[in-house]
Structure 1
Amino acid sequence: MSTERRRVVLFDLFGVIARHQRPGALEKMAARCRTSPEAFATAYWTHRPPYDAGRHTAAAYWTDVLHALSRPADADTIEELRLVDIDSWSRVDERMVAYVRRLRDRARVALLSNIPADHADAFVAAQPWLHDLDHVAFSGRIGAAKPDPAAFRHSVTALHAAPADVLFVDDREENVRAAQAEGMNGHVFTGRDALSAVVDPWLRAVRR
């Protein structure tokens, strides 16, 4: 069997291999803006989708957030918030990184993550293991964020794979359902042991 026909395990990043946002980060950014954590969180997440999908730059995103909070959007404030934000999403689960690296002995391994382009640049620079994967797709670079079907189609096309040969792993059920609607297999991630219990028999299955 050629490498091109090997099965693919396509991973989400945050909540699977990487950890969710650092606790206290939103509160720290809210304090910088002299606003409540609740108001900041609302502005932060409301304006996030076009930033994640590469339709807004970091400057445009943070300008929208600051204006929603009735705060001035000066360059220094924007850059400070941007750097704190990037750092807040920088942690990985080293046990999952090790699992993903070992998995490449048995399957092709790829990544599909909702992450702004400038965050992706910083993450790749800090995590050299990403260069060993068969394909890496970041929403801010490809112009589509999960659960948009275009995000899944991008990865399948880039991998030259059939959807049925892909197992998509994400901690969000809505994203897994969207992948399944595109013909992929799907698994809602709850932990490494449960994942192994799904991946191992799936990779052993006889393909006709």
Structure 2
Amino acid sequence: MNNPHRPLDAASDVVLFDMFGVIARHQSEAGKERLAALAGGPAPAFWDAYWGLRQPYDRGDVNGVAYWKRVADALGTAFDEARVARLIEADLASWSAVDDTMVTLVEELTAAGQPVALLSNIPEELAAHYEERHSWLKHFQVCAFSCRIGHAKPEPGAYRWCLEALGAEPGRVLFVDDREENIRAAEAVGVRGHLFTTPARLREVLRLSA
């Protein structure tokens, strides 16, 4: 297995970032409450359907309208066009918060000549939302959005797609993600992994001064 603690070489190594839970924040409680209220019905059943049906949406197999129809079917109900539009809007809003501390860290890496890339499980509507609003995405050599590459973490194809797009050997890539299952999947294809906990800890791993 590759050593995740080996110092990075800015000339040849790449830091591959997850987005949600690392650079962007997970859903806010207020955002989650709004979504569940819009969907109606018991919240536990809603979240079971929301997450249970999410992978094909993230992978780009279905669009937002089809995804929310599947959620409605799972709940034994139906959403009209207006309700679907509101659900899509509320879903985008719930995933929209960004950690400015992490954006600064990415900018410091690129200023120091460190190549960076992005691998995110994200549906098309949310990918477009971020592209329209966040200029820091330009720092990434590759933005591997699951909806556009046909693979979603922890599927091995997601990591292999990134390696091919970057033209990088697996041991020359450090993958940063907040989910253990995604780190294990990356390491299974030879990519080095760092389980993200805090920006301060990541700075230590990357040997960046605070």
TM-score, structure 2 normalization: 0.90
Matched, 1:120 2:127: yes
Q: Which amino acid aligns with 1:113?
A: S
TM-superposition CA deviations, 1:59-118 (whole Å, max 9, x none): 110000112122223211111100100110011000100001111124100100011111
Q: Which runs of 5+ in 1 are unaligned?
A: 202-208
Q: Any conservation in 1 of the 2:179–2:195 contact (CA below 8 Å)?
A: yes
TM-superposition CA deviations, 1:113-139 (whole Å, max 9, x none): 011111111011111110121111110
Structure 1 stretch displaced more, 24-33 or 42-51:
24-33
User: Which residue of the partner structure matches residue 20 of structure 2?
Assistant: 14
SS in 1 for 2:29: coil
Report the identity percentage. 46
Structure 1 stretch displaced more, 21-30 or 54-63:
21-30
SS in 1 for 2:16: strand
The one of 99, 110, 114 equivalent to 2:117 is: 110
User: Which residue of the partner structure matches residue 48 of structure 1?
Assistant: 54
Within 1, Cα distance between the matches of 2:59 and 2:186? 17
The one of 28, 31, 44 equivalent to 2:34 is: 28
User: Which residue of the partner structure matches residue 82 of structure 1?
Assistant: 88
TM alignment of 1:35-184, pairs within 5 A: 35-104=41-110, 105-184=112-191
TM-superposition CA deviations, 1:12-66 (whole Å, max 9, x none): 0011111001212232122223212212111111111110111111111000011
Q: Which amino acid aligns with 2:131?
A: V
User: Which residue of the partner structure matches residue 204 of structure 1?
Assistant: none
User: Which residue of the partner structure matches residue 197 of structure 1?
Assistant: 204
Q: Any conservation in 1 of the 2:175–2:193 contact (CA below 8 Å)?
A: yes
Shift in alpha-carbon separation, 1:36–1:24, aligned structure 2, 3 A: farther
Within 1, Cα distance between the matches of 2:39 and 2:200? 41
SS in 1 for 2:117: strand
Q: Which amino acid aligns with 1:59?
A: V
TM-score, structure 1 normalization: 0.91
SS in 2 for 1:177: helix
Instruction: Tell me the number of residue pairs that the alignment of Structure 1 and Structure 2 aligns.
Output: 199
- Superposition misfits of 4+ residues, deviation over 6 angstroms: none
